[in-house]
Amino acid sequence: MTSPDIVFDYERGERIGLDEAVFCAGKGPAQISAILSLAAERGRGLLLTRLDADGLAQLPPDQARALDYCVMSRTAFFGPLRPVTSRGRVAIVAAGTSDAVVAREAERTLRHAGIEASLILDVGVAGLWRLLERIDEILRFPVVIAVAGMDAAIASVLGGLLRGTIICVPTSVGYGAAEAGRTALNAMLSSCAPGLLTCNIDSGYGAACAAIRILNSFPDAQQDPSRGS
C-alpha cells in the first residue's frame, strides 16, 4: 500500500515539458519505496536525485535491483527510459574533476529526458591551455552548461568566447573563502560576460532542466543531427 501523503505529478511532462523527478535527500526508504511503487503501477519512468548508497541499500531488494544507479552523481533511473532523440546540442564543461559529481548529475538528468550530452572535464582556468585545446569542440554546441567551484572563472571565460546559451552551475568545491559555493555563485552572477544564466549551488539537475526548457522552445533543435532532415 502506498502512502496517502505522496502526490505524484503525472502530468508535469505534458504541462511544462519536464518529467516528475524525486529528490531523495530527506526522504526515508519507506517513502522512496512507495514512490517507486506508484511509478511502477502507472508504468512510468522516473528520475531519482540525491539518492546515496545507504538509501539505495535500504530499499526492498527488488526495487534496488530495478534501478540504474550512478554512484558518482547519486542519481537513478527507474522504469522505462526514453531513447536518445537529441545529440550534439548540449555540452557540460566542468572546471575540475572535483566538479564531476555535479556535472554528472546534469548529464544523467539530460539522458533521462532523451538528450545525450557531451561531458568535458578538467578544463579549468588554472591550466588555461586545457580549455583552449578543446574550445573549438565546445564552440559547436548551442547550449553549454559550465560547472565550477572556487572562483568559477571558467564561466566568464566561456562567456567571452561562445555565442550560444551558457548555463552556469556553481559548486561547493573549494577551501574556506569559497564558502561552500557562495563565492562561485557570486562570481557567476556578477560576471562581466553578459547573458549568463546561473543556477543554484551544486544543482546539476536544475541546469539540465534549464537546458531542456531551452531545447523545448525550439523543437527543431531536438533532432538528432546524425539522422539528417
pTM of the model: 0.90
Is the domain of 73 the same as that of 112?
Answer: no
77-86 CB burial, b ≥16 within 10 A, e <16: bbbeeeeeeb
Q: CA–CA separation, 112 vs 212, rounded Å?
A: 11
**Burial track 212-227 (b if 16+ CB lie within 10 A, e otherwise):** bebbeeeeebbeeeee
Are 187 and 98 in the same domain?
A: yes
**Whether residue 100 sits in one domain with residue 213:** yes
Question: Edge-to-edge strand order for the sheet containing 197-198?
Answer: 115-120, 86-94, 143-148, 165-170, 197-198
Based on the fold, state whether residues 124 and 194 are members of the same structural domain. Answer: yes
Closest alpha carbon to 114 in 208, 16, 11: 208
**132 domain residue, yes or no:** yes
Task: Specify the DSSP class assigned to residue 18.
Answer: -
* 134 & 185 share domain: yes
Domain boundary among 40, 59, 78: 78
**Position 3 in a domain:** no
Cα four-point dihedral sign 173, 176, 178, 180: positive
* Domain shared by 139 and 72, yes or no: no
- Would you state the pLDDT for residue 123? 93
* CA distance to 89, 114, 140, 162, 173, per residue, from 136 (Å): 15, 25, 7, 10, 27
144 and 101 co-located in one domain: yes
Tell me, yes or no, whether 66 and 46 share the same domain. Answer: yes
Are 95 and 204 members of one domain? yes
Tell me: do 71 and 121 sit in the same domain: no
* 199 & 144 share domain: yes
In the numeric block, which cell numbers belong to residue 196? Answer: 549568463
Total number of domains in the chain: 2
| Residues spanned by the domain of 39 | 12-78
120 with 73, same domain? no
Which ranges of the chain have pLDDT less than 50?
1-2, 225-229
Instruction: Look at residue 228 in the predicted model and tell me its pLDDT.
Output: 42
Residue 229 lies inside a defined structural domain of this protein: no
